[in-house]
Structure 1
Amino acid sequence: MKETASNLKGMYMELGGWSVPANIVSGITTKYNGVSKAPFDSLNMGLHVGDEPEDVVHNRQLLAEAIQFPLDTWVLGEQVHGTEIAVATKREAGRGSRELTDSLPSVDGLITNEKGMLLAAFFADCVPLYFFDSTSDWIGMAHAGWRGTVADMAGKMVEALCTNGADRESIQAMIGPCISKNRYEVDDFIVQQIPEEFRAKVLLPSGSDRYYLDLQMLNRLYLLQAGIQDDNILTAAYCTYDSPEFYSHREDQGKTGRMIGFIGMKEEQA
């Protein structure tokens, strides 16, 4: 497995290790340098968790200024733990950036080849999936919890990108920070939804009908199955449960904030 250490910059972590041009901005936020109060302190990005909406929008504005992508360029999906993927165009710019109800309905994955737009999704243990194709300039951002993972969100993102003109041979995929195998215990109900040929590589028995599940490895296997080159798949070496920089739904027993994962292409400089 090819792991990459990324660069923590206080408010957000830049994704390191993959070959992207200077106009590609990608990362995931931390818990730091925002205005939200406990238990969402302090850089909560989720409008759906019970935080004060004005604090969340303020936090998003802080990130927008830091990465130089105004909120009106952001696109966010509703996130229902499914595999619906939307092609984001300038018509969708700003959707979900200030109002929860304005998010793209039922969408967990976003792709675009338009510059000046930021694709974003929320996380607090689930898997962020980032995509970039140097041949076609298509980018993608997906949210994959266990449901999305076993439903092959990773592979469906690859197919959506290729259907719209990306080159499978040159697509790079980054599996972002999520809950690690040692912290993610699941029951047999989830195990039965994992393809049998993958189970030995992603499961470790922990007790009677209980297993530790490696979500990052499982997404990697789906990406390989979809035809992504092994050297083009990178994995971030952070656990959201163990790393104090991140929100963790499981570690915080459900009452917590959300990070935002993002990728965008800046307009070419004149």
Structure 2
Amino acid sequence: MKETASNLKGMYMELGGWSVPANIVSGITTKYNGVSKAPFDSLNMGLHIGDEPEDVVHNRQLLAEAIQFPLDTWILGEQVHGTEIAVATKREAGRGSRELTDSLPSVDGLITNEKGMLLAAFFADCVPLYFFDSTSDWIGMAHAGWRGTVADMAGKMVEALCTNGADRESIQAMIGPCISKNRYEVDDYIVQQIPEEFRAKVLLPSGSDRYYLDLQMLNRLYLLQAGIQDDNILTAAYCTYDSPEFYSHREDQGKTGRMIGFIGMKEEQA
């Protein structure tokens, strides 16, 4: 599996290892250098978990300034652990950036080929999926927990990109930081949702009807199945459970903040 190191910049981790032009900004926030109080301390990006809304918006503004994408250019989906994908345009710019109720309803995946917009999604162990096609300038950002993963969110993102003009052979996919296979124990109910042909590659028995599940590998298999070239799939070598930089829903027993994964194209190439 092709893993990539990333550049930690305090407030966020810049994704490295993939071939993107200088005007592409992509990364995932850490939990550092924000204003949220415990148990969300300190750079919580989620408005939906009980944190003070003004603190969350303040945190988002800090990131907006750091990456030079104003909040009015952000687009966020509601995230319901589904596979609905929206094509984002300038008309939707700013949706979900300041108000939870303003996010795109039922959306877990976003794609666009318009410059000057930031696609974003929330995470705290689930899998961030990033996409870029150099031939068409389409980008994508998706949230894939176990439900989205086994429902083939990865493959559906590829199909959405290709339907709108991306070239399957040149699409690059980045599987971002998430909970690792050593920390993600699941029961037989979840196992039964995984295609049989994938199970031997992503599951390790841990006890009676219990298994460790490799979400990154599972998403990789779906991407390969969708026709993405093996060399065009990269995996971030970080576990959100073990890495102190990140929020982890499982490690923090459900009461924790959220990171934002993001990708955008600046108007002018640097």
| TM-score when normalising by structure 1 | 0.99
Partner of 1:183: helix, strand, or coil?
coil
Q: CA deviation at 1:73?
A: 0.1
Separation (CA, whole Å) in 2 of partners of 1:189 and 1:175:
24
Q: Secondary structure at the match of 2:216?
A: helix
CA distance in 1, matches of 2:265, 2:191: 38
Deviation per CA, 1:99-120: give whole Å up to 9, x if none.
0000000000000000000000
Matches of 2:21 and 2:133 in 1, distance apart? 11
Q: 1:70, 1:231 → 2: CA distance?
A: 33
Deviations 1:218-269 (A, max 9, x none): 0000000000000000000000000000000000000000000000000015
CA distance in 1, matches of 2:165, 2:5: 30
Q: Which runs of 5+ in 2 are unaligned?
A: none
Contact 2:127 2:143 in 1 (8 A): yes
**Cα distance change of structure 1 residues 92 and 200 upon mapping to structure 2, 3 Å threshold:** same
> 2: distance between equivalents of 1:116 and 1:9?
22
Q: Secondary structure at the match of 1:234?
A: strand
Identity %: 99
8 Å CA contact 2:96–2:104 kept in 1: the answer is: yes
Distance 1:235 1:196 in 2: 23
Question: Could you tell me how far apart the structure 2 residues matched to 1:219 and 1:249 are?
Answer: 20
Alpha-carbon distance, 1:48 to partner: 0.3
Q: Deviations over 1:75-106 (max 9, x none)?
A: 00000000000000000000000000000000
2:23–2:269 contact (8 Å) kept in structure 1: no
Q: Encode CA deviations 1:204-229: one digit per residue, 9 max, x unaligned.
A: 00000000000000000000000000
Note the alpha carbon deviations across 1:110-165, whole angstroms, 9 max, x for none: 00000000000000000000000000000000000000000000000000000000
1:128 aligned counterpart, secondary structure: strand
- C-alpha RMSD of matched pairs (Å): 0.7
The residue number in structure 2 matching 1:258 is 258
Q: How does 1:22-171 map to 2 (within 5 A)?
A: 22-171=22-171
For residues 63 and 8 of structure 1, the distance between their equivalents in structure 2, rounded to whole angstroms, comes to 14
Consecutive unaligned residues in structure 1, runs of 5 or more: none
For the residue of structure 1 that corresponds to 2:129, the secondary structure is strand
Equivalent residues of 2:123, 2:259 under 8 A apart: yes
Paired with 2:250 and 2:35, the residues of 1 have a C-alpha distance of 23
Checking the alignment, whether the CA contact within 8 Å between 2:71 and 2:97 is kept in structure 1 is yes
Give per-residue Cα distances to partners, 1:51-95, cap 9 Å, x unaligned.
Answer: 000000000000000000000000000000000000000000000
2:236 and 2:269 map into 1 onto residues whose CA distance is: 30
Structure 2 distance, partners of 1:16, 1:110, is: 21
Equivalents in 2 of 1:111, 1:269: separation in Å?
20
Cα contact 2:126–2:178 (8 A) shared by 1: yes
Instruction: Give the Cα separation in 2 of the matches to 1:157 and 1:269.
Output: 25
CA spacing shift, 1:190–1:269, aligned 2, 3 Å: closer
Task: Please list the CA deviations of residues 17-36 of structure 1 after superposition, one character each: whole Å capped at 9, or x if unmatched.
Answer: 00000000000000000000
User: SS where residue 107 of structure 1 aligns?
Assistant: coil
Provide, for residues 4-55 of structure 1, a one-character-per-residue CA deviation record: whole Å limited to 9, x for no partner. 0100000000000000000000000000000000000000000001000000
> SS in structure 2 opposite 1:118?
strand
TM-score by length of structure 2 reads: 0.99
* Mapped partners of 2:5, 2:165: distance in 1: 30
Measured in 2, the distance between the counterparts of 1:180 and 1:12 equals 20
**2:187 corresponds to which residue?**
187
- In structure 1, what is the Cα distance between the partners aligned to 2:189 and 2:135? 40
Task: Give the secondary-structure state (helix, strand or coil) at the position aligned to 1:34.
Answer: coil
Q: Distance in 2 between matches of 1:180 and 1:148?
A: 17
